[in-house]
């Protein structure tokens, strides 16, 4: 009989772990999927909860990341550190200086990068170019959600224009671009166009994402979410080759909304295809439970209901790679890119 969690003795870091509502829920997902530790993607000021968890569960949390905001409406009004993540005015010299010094202080406190970066902005917008520059200056990655298509019932938040990222990779060679979501993963296939429907069956080789990973040392891929799983399970010969060729550039993440690392549903997510309620506090702000509901909905729309995306991604990586490559994708690359220990 095949072992259920064959990677259980390996170090596995989830670098796409959205903040849960409490510490027990965090540990339940890590334990259930056989994951050693997480880089937590925080929604608010995570320093307090991060500090507590780090103390209570030493080694389970390797740091926290948080995304920038691009408009005043998107910013938590009661977050004392909002200015550091608000990129609305950061092109002004004074605001940029302020953001840089606050972010440098947060970095000393475990902040590892701009993740997950989303918003109604294009890949080459002035706002994002400002983030790329700051990210290079502070030596932290920018992890980005590329999605041109809009999903009915969900907020519009995907970064547009993935296919133009090459110019940004050239212009900001010291910025680590960690790419994720439908337009990055769709583009492993040469027939895909930004915003298109997922392709299935054998992959047509020579896709844009594949070429960019080969050509640019500052281009990385994040393995989280149904978008990655659906693309990596359609053609296992391609997957084995793709993971091997980019073994220095890809990092495991779950981006999974299940509760137990085995596909269990969160309360309130039993009817995942129904339109999701807006976040209660503010249209532009996501809270942890909303993100979990949305992740569950995405999994359901992709035909992955009842599955833990993280567990499935680890399973396909384990089955298609050498042990050495698995270790790089499961932990080593994230340690290097995000400066983890
Ligand atoms: Zn995302
Ligand atoms: Zn899960």
**Domains along the sequence of the chain with CATH:** 13-337 (3.20.20.140)
> Residue written as tokens 């917008």?
125
What pLDDT digit, counting tens, does each position of 73-122 carry?
Answer: 665 556 667 778 888 888 888 888 888 999 999 999 889 999 999 988 99
Model pLDDT, residue 128: 94
Helix %, strand %, coil % of the chain (to 5) = 40, 15, 45
Report the b/e string of 179-218 with b at 16+ CB within 10 A: bbbbbbbbbbbeebebbeebbeeebeeebbbbbbbeebeb
Cα of first residue to Cα of last residue in the chain, in angstroms, is 35
Distance 186 CA to ligand 1 centre (A): 14
Distance 43 CA to ligand 2 centre (A): 19
Q: Quick one: which of 183, 88, 75 has its CA closest to 128?
A: 88
Q: Which residues of the chain have pLDDT under 50?
A: 269-285
Considering every ligand atom shown, identify the ligand nearest to the alpha carbon of residue 159 and give its number: 1
Considering every ligand atom shown, identify the ligand nearest to the alpha carbon of residue 144 and give its number: 1
Whole-angstrom distance, CA of residue 157 vs CA of residue 150:
8
Considering every ligand atom shown, identify the ligand nearest to the alpha carbon of residue 20 and give its number: 2
| Residues within 5 A (CB) of ion ligand 1 | 145, 181
Considering every ligand atom shown, identify the ligand nearest to the alpha carbon of residue 179 and give its number: 1
Whole-angstrom distance, CA of residue 117 vs CA of residue 138:
16
Q: Which two structure tokens, joined as six digits, stand for 213?
A: 């990973």
Considering every ligand atom shown, identify the ligand nearest to the alpha carbon of residue 145 and give its number: 1
Model pLDDT, residue 2: 61
Model pLDDT, residue 279: 43
CB 116 within 8 A of CB 144: yes
Distance 258 CA to ligand 2 centre (A): 4
Distance 173 CA to ligand 1 centre (A): 23
What pLDDT digit, counting tens, does each position of 132-149 carry?
Answer: 999 999 999 999 999 999
Predicted structure pTM score? 0.91
CB 259 within 8 A of CB 28: yes
Within 13 Å and on the Cβ side, how many CA atoms surround 319? 17
Model pLDDT, residue 270: 44
């Amino acid at each position: 009989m095949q072992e259920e969690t064959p990677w259980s003795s390996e170090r596995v870091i989830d670098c796409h772990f959205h903040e849960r509502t409490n510490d027990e829920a965090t540990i339940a997902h890590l334990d259930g999927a056989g994951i050693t530790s997480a880089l937590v993607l925080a929604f608010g000021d995570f320093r307090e909860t991060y500090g507590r968890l780090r103390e209570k569960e030493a080694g389970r949390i390797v740091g926290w990341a948080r995304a920038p905001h691009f408009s005043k409406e998107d910013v938590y009004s009661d977050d004392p550190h909002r200015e550091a993540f608000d990129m609305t005015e950061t092109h002004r010299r004074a605001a940029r200086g302020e953001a840089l010094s606050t972010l440098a202080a947060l970095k000393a406190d475990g902040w590892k990068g701009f993740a997950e970066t989303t918003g109604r902005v294009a890949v080459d917008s002035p706002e994002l170019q400002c983030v790329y520059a700051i990210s290079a200056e502070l030596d932290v990655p920018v992890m980005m959600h590329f999605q041109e298509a809009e999903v009915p019932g969900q907020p519009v938040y995907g970064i547009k224009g993935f296919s133009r990222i090459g110019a940004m990779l050239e212009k900001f060679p010291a910025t680590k671009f960690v790419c994720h979501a439908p337009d990055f993963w769709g583009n492993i296939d040469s027939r895909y166009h930004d915003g298109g429907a997922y392709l299935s069956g054998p992959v047509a080789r020579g896709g844009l994402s594949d070429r960019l990973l080969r050509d640019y040392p500052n281009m990385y891929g994040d393995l989280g979410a149904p978008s990655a799983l659906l693309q990596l399970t359609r053609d296992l010969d391609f997957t084995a080759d793709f993971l091997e060729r980019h073994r220095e550039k890809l990092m495991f993440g779950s981006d999974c909304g299940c509760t137990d690392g085995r596909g269990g549903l969160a309360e309130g997510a039993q009817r995942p295809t129904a339109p999701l309620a807006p976040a209660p506090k503010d249209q532009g702000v996501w809270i942890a439970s909303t993100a979990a509901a949305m992740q569950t909905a995405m999994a359901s729309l992709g035909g992955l209901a009842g599955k833990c995306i993280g567990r499935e991604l680890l399973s396909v990586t384990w089955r298609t790679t050498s042990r050495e490559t698995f270790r790089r994708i499961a932990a080593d690359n994230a340690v290097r890119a995000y400066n983890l220990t």
